[in-house]
Amino acid sequence: MNLDFDICYQAMLSRDRRFDGWFLTGVTSTGIYCRPICRVRKPRRENCRFFADSAAAEQAGFRPCLRCRPERAPGLAMTDMSARLAQSAAALIESGFLDDASIAELARRIGVSDRHLRRIFEAHFGVSIGRFVQTRRLLLAKRLLTETRLPMTELSLAAGFGSQRRFNALFRHSYGLTPSALRRTGSSDAGAPLCIELAYRPPLCWSALLSFLAPRAIEGVEWIEGEHYARTVAIERRGQWHHGWVRVSHVPERHALSVTLPASLHPVIAGVLSRVRRLFDLDCSPEIIDDHLGALAAARPGVRVPGAFDGFEMAVRAIAGQQIRVTQARRILSRLVEQFGEPVAGAPAGLRVAFPEASRIAGLDPEALIGLGLLRQRAEAIIALSREIVAQRLSLAPLMAPDDVLPALRAIRGIGEWTVQYIAMRSLAWPDAFPHGDAVLKKRLGLTSAKALEQYAERWSPWRAYAAIRLWEDAPRSGPVSLAEEVTSP
């Protein structure tokens, strides 16, 4: 990513939260790097260097600021960077993929050679994959040190280090102090739930997210009450499944979401936090998107596209919901999880079972799903999708390239174009996905054909998914949108 020095310097002076996560400032006089919103005295122009990523700043010899804490900055969405493959790899790394896999396996997951992945990754981020991984692990460890009482042994493993000794050595070498020196007070507690905050760029319309998720919540898997969202979790690491739950609340005064998770999920905390970020679209830049959507976004700024906690789960939900009401799909999915899901012990009220994994569904006969209320073609499509996932011929990880995934989805009998676009929107976090055959969208815009809707929606590209989610959410409250209305910026 190319950074303009003058623009970055002025943004740093302004402390504008819209730039948080877009770049970092390295101060040569102190050897520290900061977020643009840092409240410390601003450095002289000649003492500044700007970096697109923490790994690049640390490779240049800078240490993270202990006040603004760069590890808490929001990330960037897919269209913020041109190299989709590098961004896909980074998303998988953030989720902990390399904790129990090799770079060669990472390359195979995103469909390129090991050598090509290393080349594009370094060209895009300015650092090697190894350095990027090390920085991400150190920053996660730093968060856990300052925000939790997790014992050091568990903390080092949760952050992705193979041993506490290696963690201690790397931490001291990189930051000039020991982990115990950073955690000055308090005793460790291995069994207590952890509570960590995830930052976002304001504004964020939390009520819109919950309004979208609530009617689609699967009984036993998700629970939404008041301003809180909770769900069950099942994540695999090193051949072992970790089950638990997560609870998410909005902390608007700090522009963050508060995430609580139990001790059973401590070993996979990186994956949990990454999934929460995707589910609530925390890495988007709302002011840029809202400005592009114009009047369509004016009434409620900061609306996000709800993502997927798990790409496979979301795809199954999309197939099950084809051409039926949301309430019908919800009942079918509730039966599915009750019969084939894994019980979650110790979960809060309203949560009791994790969504079944692809390997569980792949071995079923279609009759098992038809008995739940699914039509035969949809039951067969869900099983076919599961088998493609298990065979690793298809990946629905966030930020996977749509050009690779969408044709594979279309090849599965029973998956139509609406479903393909919906999966791209939510599972892949593809911001330009748009279900141009959607009846509600056509009605809202007063159009009669899918082709007319597709042509009209071009004005919203590359943010058509955000336009779709707004039109869907406003449908119960609003009439048709006037085609004479100016809905995009000049």
Active site residue: 34, 38, 48, 68, which one? 34
How are beta strands 32-34 and 63-64 bridged, if at all?
Answer: parallel
Instruction: Give the mean pLDDT of 348-353.
Output: 96
Residue 22 covered by a domain:
yes
Same domain, 305 and 351: yes
72-86, 140-154, 192-206, 418-432: which has the minimum mean pLDDT?
A: 72-86
Instruction: Enter the tokens of residue 444.
Output: 């809202």
Residue 251 has pLDDT above 60, yes or no: yes
User: What's the confidence (pLDDT) of residue 475?
Assistant: 65
The 10 Å Cβ neighbour count of residue 301 is 16
Residue 420 in domain: yes
| Nearest partner of 247 among 270, 264, 224, 218, judged by Cα | 224
Residue 16's CB is within 10 A of a number of other CB atoms, namely 14
Verify that 413 and 329 share a domain, yes or no: yes
Least confident residue range of 78-87, 276-285, 310-319? 78-87
Domain shared by 168 and 196, yes or no:
no
186 — pLDDT class (breaks 50, 70, 90): low
Last residue of a domain, one of 387, 404, 430: 430
Are 28 and 136 part of one and the same domain? Answer: no
Of the chain, the percentage scoring pLDDT greater than 70 comes to 93
Residue 211 and residue 65 share a domain: no
Whether residue 298 sits in one domain with residue 173 = no
The torsion angles phi and psi of 236, rounded to 5 degrees, stand at -95, 140
Q: What is the mean pLDDT of residues 291-300?
A: 92
CA angle, residues 473, 217, 213, in degrees to nearest 5? 30
313: pLDDT confidence band, cut at 50, 70 and 90?
very high
Q: Does residue 471 belong to any structural domain of this protein?
A: no
Q: Is residue 156 part of a domain?
A: yes
Tens digit of each residue's pLDDT (9 = 90 or more) over 77-132: 654 444 678 888 998 998 889 988 999 999 988 888 899 899 989 988 889 999 99
- Regarding whether 109 and 227 lie in a shared domain, the answer is no
What is the mean predicted confidence (pLDDT) over 14-29?
89
Average pLDDT over every residue of 171-191? 80
Same domain, 394 and 348: yes
| N-term to C-term CA, the chain | 26
Question: What CATH number has the domain bearing residue 19?
Answer: 3.40.10.10
pLDDT of 10 above 90 = no
CA dist list (Å): 12 to 22, 28, 38, 167, 279: 11, 15, 8, 32, 29
In terms of domains, do 336 and 203 share one? yes
438 assigned to active site = yes
What are 58-70's pLDDT values in tens digits? Answer: 999 999 999 999 9
Rounded average pLDDT over 331-337: 98
Identify whether 205 is a catalytic site residue.
Answer: no
Q: What is the CA radius of gyration of the chain?
A: 23
In the set 20, 99, 283, 438, the catalytic residue is: 438
CATH of residue 132's domain is: 1.10.10.60
Number of domains composing the chain: 3
Q: How many CB atoms lie within 10 A of CB 305?
A: 24
Say which residues have a Cβ less than 8 Å from residue 299's Cβ, sequence separation at least 6: 474
What is the residue range of 370's domain?
190-430
Q: Which of 306, 308, 313, 287 is nearest to 298 (CA)?
A: 287
Interior CA angle at 402 toward 400 and 408, to 5°? Answer: 100
Q: Which helix (H) or strand (E) holds 25?
A: strand 24-27
Of 46, 72, 98, the one marking the end of a domain is 72
Assigned domain for 467 exists: no
Q: Which of 409, 430, 451 is the last residue of a domain?
A: 430
Same domain, 334 and 362: yes
Answer yes or no: is pLDDT of 211 > 80: yes
The gap from C-alpha 343 to its chain's centroid, in whole angstroms, comes to 25
CB atoms closer than 10 angstroms to residue 31: 12
Do residues 237 and 374 share a domain?
yes
Dihedral (CA of 423, 428, 431, 432) sign = negative
CATH number at residue 368: 3.30.310.20
469 assigned to some structural domain: no
Kindly report which listed range (105-114, 279-288, 383-392) carries the lowest average pLDDT score.
105-114
Is 490 part of any domain? no
Tell me how far apart the alpha carbons of residues 259 and 196 are, in angstroms, rounded to a whole number.
5
The predicted structure's pLDDT at residue 371? 97
Asked whether residue 376 is assigned to any structural domain, the reply reads yes
CB of 127 closer than 8 Å to CB of 133: no
Which has the closest alpha carbon to 432: 398, 467, 481, 456?
A: 467
List helix spans (H) across 75-151.
Answer: 84-94, 103-110, 114-125, 129-147
Tell me: do 140 and 281 sit in the same domain.
Answer: no
User: If pLDDT is split at 50, 70 and 90, which confidence band does 479 have?
Assistant: low
